[in-house]
Amino acid sequence: MKNRHECDVRKINKAAVKEARARMLGDRPLRRAAGSFRLLGDPTRIKLLHALSQRELCVCDLANLLSMSQSAISHQLAMLRGANLVKFRKEGKIAHYALKDRHILGIIKAGVKHANE
């Protein structure tokens, strides 16, 4: 039985495939994007990124904002730092975090818009 989402005929449009292949992104940037999307699959990390899009915050402020332990927040922030999505600076014993760049906010907003459609 055929899947209704498949073509009814097996004829390849070589020109269309060639054009699509020429426009495809490389494997490396796609793998990196997929890694970022995996990180965004966690609601806590999205909340952290959204909070940091508003302003720089320290770990204790983020823990209070999200009603989580500082240890749990630090663990999530370490993952985001590893993916180069957030940056931090130390001021004495206080670690302040901020978005590395504003691009991630656009991705979050697009995801929320898509989910609400």
60-94: per-residue pLDDT in tens?
A: 999 999 999 999 999 999 999 998 999 999 999 99
- Tell me, yes or no, whether 26 lies in a domain: no
pLDDT of 117 above 80: yes
Specify whether the CB–CB gap between 51 and 62 falls below 8 A: yes
Q: What is the pLDDT of residue 2?
A: 58
Give backbone dihedrals phi and psi of 52, rounded to 5 degrees, phi first.
-75, -15
- Tell me, yes or no, whether 74 lies in a domain: yes
- Tell me, yes or no, whether 2 lies in a domain: no
Question: Residue 75 maps to which CATH number?
Answer: 1.10.10.10
Total domains present in the chain: 1
Where in the sequence is the domain holding 71, given as residue range(s)? 40-116
- Tell me, yes or no, whether 98 lies in a domain: yes
The pTM for the full model equals: 0.79
Q: What is the pLDDT of residues 5-49, one digit of tens each?
A: 777 777 888 999 999 999 999 999 999 889 888 989 999 999 999
Specify whether the CB–CB gap between 45 and 83 falls below 8 A: no
- Tell me, yes or no, whether 85 lies in a domain: yes
